Structure 1
Amino acid sequence: MLTLLAFGALAAVASAANSWIVPGAAWMSTSNTKIDAHGGMVLKRGDTFYWVGQAASHSVQPYMYTSKNLLDWTPCTNPQNPIQWLWRPKLAKPNGSFWIYGQVDRNVQALKSSSISDNYAVAGSKVTLPPNAYTYSDTGMFADDDGTWYLLTSADHNNVQINKINSDGSIGTRVNVLAKGAYEAPGMFKVGGIYYLIVSGKTGWRSNPNQMFWTDKLAGGSWNGPYPIAPEAQKTYNSQNTFELTVVGSKKTTYVYMGDSWDSKGGPDSNYVWLPMSVDTGTKKVTLDYHAQWKLNAETGEVVLPSRKRRYEAEHAVVEGRGVVGRCERCLNRRGVHAADPSAQVTFHNIIGLGGPQWVQFHYHVANRTSGEAHISVNDAPAVNISAMNHRAGYHHVVPVLLDLKSGGENRIVFGVSGEAGVVLEGIEVVED
């Protein structure tokens, strides 16, 4: 009987190698532990990026990581404070200190430190936001060009409200509110004098089509929208918004959507979806640019895609069981292996590896992802569900996973299915840069 492993047993598959941002895939820290910073944000200070978020595996405490390149993240001394159940923490610097604001018992709780990455202390009591003393759910953060910080919350019966943060760190007056539906997970960025607000619908831990609103006046301005940021059926590529990061490079300014790809309970199996955004300043539309694998040059601001890949077609592999090579209109070469049931197996021999962890892109189509899924085995290791390594499995036709390949051309990868999902395998591409 075939045994399929969950992510926690994947140590033998590959260790950390963060040469790319891979939406939906498990993201490992430089300590080879899974990054645990959900519902958070990234703040740049000098040449260092600081990523704060809630640790799903540690009682929702505030955890922080640092990076120079937005790829390799090193854990700080965590937690930043022993407080528990601090949801969606966000960083701000309204004065000489650093502040973390998050939700505790549906109220705002602030933490304060003289250092950005450690020794945060509770700063004052929990604050209930007006109006009508109605508690809130999600937290967002925005810093305007003049250095003023704003706290974004889903409050007042799920309207999104925006409050100024005073120079002493206290929560100030409400300057705007979005009252056009039940929204949460707010994030905001500014381009060409226009404020773009991205929000999620309220569907629990299940993803939904996030929406964008815009205004040309933050204090008291009216909101235009909603407008989609991705195809509706994609449900924001199976993610929920948490923050919009602006990276100003020497050649280009790039806007990055930061989203959480939640598991069914918002727990430790949750991953991340980060994608660059295109902003049409004429029509005032924001679009997520989906890439299965990409990275951002933190110095130039340019988006980079893999340029060296070695492709292996499924039709040239060894096909066994109820696997049939046939026509596939959606496939690159118009041919693929149709896996009819769990007896189907496709074996790729003589895969060339560099030696060590390496990204391998699986190109396959799924007719019904609720009826089964795909799994792989590398060099006779136990089979692993692809979805355990990348939440985009079954949702997108290109799914990169990190595998441990031997140096040279003696690697063997076996692709199989469980259930009757209607899988058609095009092939695999081994990324070499």
Structure 2
Amino acid sequence: MGLLKYKRLASWFALVMLCASAVVKAQAVNDRPGKLDRFTPGAIWTDNHGVHINAHGGGILYNKGRYYWFGEHKIEGSAGNRAMVGVHCYSSKDLYNWKDEGIALAVSPDSTNDIAKGCILERPKVVYNKKTGKYVMWFHLELRGQGYKAARTGLAISDKATGPYRFIRSYRPNAGFMPVYPPGTPESEQVDCAHTKSKSEGFFCRDLPGGQMARDMNLFVDDDGKAYHIFSAEENFTLDIAELNSDYTAHTGKFTRVYAGHQTEAPALFKHNGVYYLIGSGTTGWDPNPARCFSAPSIWGPWTYHGNPCKGAGSELTFGGQSTYVLPVAGKKDAFIFMADKWAPRNAIDGRYLWLPIVFKGDDIEINWLDNWKLEVFDKR
């Protein structure tokens, strides 16, 4: 081998080793806890292995000093919007840095199972039941090969926050039950299946015997320990807020209809200073639209519509995202984070996360865009 050729080869080898060293160092930094100290909405958000977090349509459980993020595990391509893996779980102590805890609920290889591989399993949420010591997961379920026809809710339970969760059943809630209304609601605004007055009321009465449709959903545990299931019903024309039993494993039959007749999905319910708030979106498929906000003095209403809580450039499309959860920050007063998904339907795994602080304006709220921000923003109010 000639001297010149040898020197070139040696230089090439040195360059390769330098690049490899850089990759190893970058990975080491990625694996080191505390590497992130701020939120960057819409950017790639990596876990402790340096992999983009895969928890879409998710929600957060805070339990025993740790946050647990549950969401849909997506795969490459448009087919990734079907459940090919299951529900992914991550944990964190600071909300910036997340540890991959693996698959909390796996889809079934049995094609006859309700959660068979290839079904549609969306918006999983988990709550902890102090009475039973169980972790309870609810999610929107569509049976494999049926599109969005089934419109069921699914239930799974675990002894550990990270799982594995055991699938229990799926069904449509509140079969045979009529809704409750705030005091003073006129009869003209109450459901009458003998004389339906609107398209949404017709869907309600159609589904009354077998249970109401339950699509986009969320969970909320109130100060008194009672839990509620919030979901899109009546072909998405109405949101239902339904009470769960003391074990959080079934519906009691008590529920109310919110914003009936207006197509709403992606509900996120929270409470601040005794006022209940509900954020949702319109129904434009994977495409973003203006968020919408409601408030009420009681979880049973009456609910007041406040319009779009997002302000500024990009607010007319919720900054490109869609609501999935509102997170109260532990240990901080008046600190709530609006969580949204920026969907990527053509390559589902590339979906991004938009986390932004909520600002309270009396009994109203505002959500403003920030390129990056820290939790200290809540201390400056």
TM-score by length of 2: 0.70
Match of 1:167 in 2: 246
Instruction: Report the aligned-residue RMSD.
Output: 2.4
Alpha-carbon offset, residue 113 of structure 1: 0.7
Q: Deviations over 1:85-140 (max 9, x none)?
A: 321100122342111111121211101011111121012x2111245234232011
2:54 paired residue number = 36
Matched residue, 2:100: 75
1:294 aligned onto 2:373: yes
- CA change 1:60–1:141 in 2 (3 A) is farther
Q: Which residue identity lines up with residue 299 of structure 2 in the other structure? A: L
Aligned equivalents of 1:107, 1:265: Cα separation in 2: 25
Instruction: Determine if the alignment matches structure 1 residue 111 to structure 2 residue 156.
Output: yes
Gap runs ≥5 in structure 2? 1-22, 76-82, 109-116, 143-150, 175-203
1:64 aligns with 2:142: no
Question: Following superposition of structure 1 onto structure 2, how do residues 260-339 of structure 1 map, counting pairs within 5 Å?
Answer: 260-265=341-346, 267-281=348-362, 284-296=363-375, 302=379
* Contact kept? 1:134, 1:157, Cα under 8 Å: no
**Counterparts of residues 20-419 of structure 1 (less than 5 Å):** 20-57=38-75, 59=84, 61-83=86-108, 84=117, 85-94=120-129, 95-105=132-142, 106-123=151-168, 125-130=169-174, 131=204, 132=207, 133-158=211-236, 159-168=238-247, 169-178=249-258, 179-219=260-300, 221-231=301-311, 233-234=314-315, 235-249=317-331, 252-265=333-346, 267-281=348-362, 284-296=363-375, 302=379
Contact kept, 8 Å, 1:60 with 1:86, in 2: the verdict is no
| Corresponding letter in the other structure for 2:328 | T
**Which AA in structure 2 matches 1:30?**
N
Q: Give the secondary structure class of the aligned counterpart of 2:163.
A: coil
Give the 3-state SS of the residue equivalent to 1:126 in structure 2.
strand
Contact 2:344–2:351 under 8 Å retained in 1: yes
Aligned-residue offset at 1:151: 0.7
Percentage identity across paired residues of the two chains: 28
CA contact (8 A) 2:311 2:366 kept: no
Amino acid at match of 2:288: S
Whole-Å separation in 1 of the counterparts to 2:338 and 2:277: 12
Post-superposition Cα deviations, 1:270-314, rounded to whole Å, max 9, x if no partner, equal: 100000000122xx21111321011225xx96479xxxxxxxxxx
Q: SS state of the match for residue 171, structure 2?
A: coil
Q: CA deviation at 1:60?
A: 5.7
Query: After the TM superposition, which of the residue ranges 259-268 and 187-196 deviates more from structure 2?
Result: 259-268
Q: How far has the Cα of 1:81 moved from its partner?
A: 3.0
Rounded Cα–Cα distance in structure 1 between residues aligned with 2:369 and 2:70: 24
Query: 2:53 & 2:172 partners in 1: Cα distance?
Result: 31
> Helix, strand or coil: the match of 1:237?
helix
Q: What CA deviation, in whole Å up to 9, does each residue of 1:191-227 have, x standing for no partner? A: 11111100011111111111101111112x2211142
Secondary structure at 2:295's aligned position in 1? Answer: strand
Does the aligned pair in 1 maintain the 2:306–2:364 contact within 8 Å? no
Higher strand residue share:
1
CA distance in 2, matches of 1:207, 1:184: 12
Given the superposition, is the C-alpha separation of residues 303 and 42 from structure 1 closer, same or farther in structure 2, using an over 3 Å criterion?
farther
Counterparts of 2:85 and 2:223 in 1: how far apart (Å)? 31
Unaligned runs of 5+ in 1: 1-10, 305-433
Relative to 1, partners in 2 of residues 1:265 and 1:204: Cα closer, same or farther, differing over 3 Å? farther
Distance 1:260 1:217 in 2: 28
Aligned length: 287
Give the distance between the partners of 2:298 and 2:74, measured in 1 at CA.
Answer: 36
Looking at structure 1, the residues matched to 88 and 56 of structure 2 have their Cα atoms a distance apart, in angstroms, of 9
CA separation in 2, counterparts of 1:244 and 1:68? 18
Change (3 A) 1:205 1:288: same
TM-score after normalising by structure 1: 0.62
The secondary structure found in structure 2 opposite 1:272 is strand
1:404 maps to none
Question: 1:80 deviation in Å?
Answer: 3.0
C-alpha displacement of 1:70: 0.1
In structure 2, relative to structure 1, the CA distance for the partners of 1:22 and 1:28 (3 Å cut) is: same
**Conserved in 1, the CA contact under 8 Å of 2:85 and 2:107?**
no
State whether residues 206 and 264 of structure 1, in contact with CA within 8 Å, keep that contact through their aligned partners in structure 2: no
